Amino acid sequence: MGTYLLLGLSMILIPNSLASHTTSAWNYGVMFDAGSSSSKLKIYKWPTRLSTADAFDMDLMYTQRFKPGISDYVYHPDDIPGYLGKILNKAKSIVPVTLHHSTPLFMMATAGLRVLPESDAIALMTSARQYLGNASVNPFTYSPHTVRILSGEEEGAYGWIAANYLRNFFGSNKPPSQAVGVLEMGGGSTQITFVPDGPILANMFPVRMAGVTYYLYAHSYLYYGQTYMAYRIRRYLEEESPLDTELYNPCMLRGDNVSYSSDDGTTVILRGDSNPTKCLEILNSFLQSAEENSCYPKPCAIGQIYQPSLGTDTFFAISAYVYAPTTLRALDPFGRLKIKAMNTSAHQYCRMTLAQAINATGTAAEYASGYCMMGLYIPSLLTSSYGFPSSTNRIQVADKINGESVDWALGAVLYELEQIDYYNWLETCGEVSGGQRPVVSLVVWVLLGMVTFYIRNLTNVL
């Protein structure tokens, strides 16, 4: 319930200024997707919808990548205005000038900033808010709430929204059981989000779309993304042989060697060892579930993290889930993941040298060892941790749905717009006035959510 109350607060503290509507038939939204290696400007366009029971008809009309990522300014937060100014000026040139004042601006960061020390992350976002909150430079609609570092659960929920939106699920009157779950993996974290068949005892994330509220299970595992898993393997080897300056990495292919500086400045050479058995042993040490007497509430996935049963949902595996299964030819003709085949293929691949792997798959040398690690990591994560049967055919691997990229940024814009329209609806119905809105919305969201959720669960029990 604590999670639900906190979420309720985050959903309602949106100022009246964001609720402004344009008289134009078209609306625009500006998103700064602040990643660890770059920031992506995304501009969305949609016609005014006739009813909150309808789904938005969203179009990504423009996107551009800006390097470096915002985390590069962690020691120079005073340079943030110059960095964001370039992105903002491009957005101003794309959105019609007459609609600047009614166009909401969002800047959201993901795991790349979640891994920073809290003080550094606060300094970066404070500088960003000060700049974007200055109406003399930012003509778009601004709120401190929409310039923030996303929680992992938000990132997962927004990916879920994007995937189901692209499948035309919202506004279709289909039951929640026909929504797809989403498995997402980036460099820093991995997320699992779905609508369980039974009650949700923790990590519940309510989402309102097209007039319907969905109760999601959403959890994000920080440091379980592709980049950080490789880093954790390296740290494991360092702790195993703290005095060695030459380490043999079983998750890297023979012939693939990299050097780096250790914490004390010593140069360490990391050499590929092509040992899938040892690699899987290390990976599984990170994926162990808690002992029965330490798992509350039950069941647990990784460590003491609760996860309800997967039920019968189809899942879409996106982002970093796409590359290794494709390279290792572990997909059936319909794009569904064959876990057993991937595990077998990964063991064979991981015994190759770097040169053999490049010759066999045509992959670039810089990615070859990564496919070994991910080829072993993904099957173990899905079966041992999440609970998928190794014979499942319910995991669809795709980076696009109906020709559109599955992107949490799309889900974030849709989610925020739904909240704006919901508050507008409350005001139109006379339920709240502008000044009363934050207080009354909290009561409405929390009480209605509690009643609906527990009635549903009571029905399940009975």
Residues belonging to the binding site for ATP are 187-191
Residue 188 CB neighbours (<10 A): 25
Residue type, 372: C
Residue 443 CB neighbours (<10 A): 12
Catalytic-role residue among 118, 153, 154, 155: 155
Residue type, 90: K
Q: How far apart are CA 129 and CA 123, in angstroms?
A: 10
Q: Which residue has the tokens 């798959």?
A: 361
Residues in CB range of 160: below 8 A, 6 or more apart: 179, 181, 182, 193, 194, 207, 216, 218, 411
From 185, 163, 349, 182, select the one nearest 252 (Cα to Cα): 349
Q: How far apart are CA 43 and CA 61, in angstroms?
A: 6
* Coil/strand/helix, residue 87: helix
Phi, psi values for residue 452, rounded to 5°: -60, -45
Residue 48 DSSP label: P
Residues in CB range of 451: below 8 A, 6 or more apart: none
- What does 376-398 look like in DSSP terms, one character per residue? HHHHHIIIIIS---TT---EEE-
Q: Assess whether 281 carries a catalytic annotation.
A: no
From 344, 376, 369, select the one nearest 354 (Cα to Cα): 369
Q: Which residue has the tokens 């020691």?
A: 75
Helices (H) and strands (E) in the chain — how many of each?
13, 16
Tokens coding 450:
């509690």
Residue 357 CB neighbours (<10 A): 27
Residue 120, judged by CB atoms within 10 A of its CB (0-12, 13-18, 19+), counts as middle
Residue 391 CB neighbours (<10 A): 9
Q: How far apart are CA 222 and CA 224, in angstroms?
A: 5
- Strand residue runs (E) in 153-224: 181-185, 189-194, 204-209, 212-222
The residues annotated with a catalytic role in the active site are: 155
